[in-house]
């Protein structure tokens, strides 16, 4: 399996990469030999000046970075809302004559 990216290419880390501090655009610094599985490996460097070794499956073109969306947190959790309602109802039950 040959490398898809060249040294100097701008990439982003694919969704599912565990280092969330690694969000953003990275540059390919060096191409490494393939892993035992045959997957091409790269050394990349981001804005934090840290270098990371990643496999090609963890790489997405930098233009695809805008297409990746992290899950959006809902402002209200329905379970918490239900528990708060039960607690409020219990508090009101004690004040009824």
- 38 close to 55: Cβ distance less than 8 angstroms: no
**Digit-coded pLDDT (tens) for 71-88:** 444 556 677 778 778 888
- 40 close to 56: Cβ distance less than 8 angstroms: yes
Mean pLDDT of the chain: 76
Residues in the chain: 97
- 23 close to 44: Cβ distance less than 8 angstroms: no
- 26 close to 18: Cβ distance less than 8 angstroms: no
**Digit-coded pLDDT (tens) for 27-41:** 999 999 998 899 999
Give pLDDT, residue 90. Answer: 81
| Higher pLDDT pick, 20 / 43 | 43
Would you say the C-alpha torsion 71, 73, 74, 77 has a positive or negative sign? positive
């Amino acid at each position: 399996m040959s490398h898809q990216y060249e040294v100097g290419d701008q990439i982003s880390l694919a969704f599912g990469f565990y280092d969330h501090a690694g969000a953003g655009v990275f540059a390919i610094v060096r191409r490494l030999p393939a892993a035992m599985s045959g997957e091409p490996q790269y050394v990349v460097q981001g804005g934090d000046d840290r270098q990371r070794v990643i496999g090609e499956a963890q790489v997405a073109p930098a233009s695809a970075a805008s297409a990746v969306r992290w899950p959006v947190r809902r402002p209200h959790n329905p379970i918490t809302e239900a528990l708060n309602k039960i607690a409020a109802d219990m508090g009101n039950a004690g004040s009824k004559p």
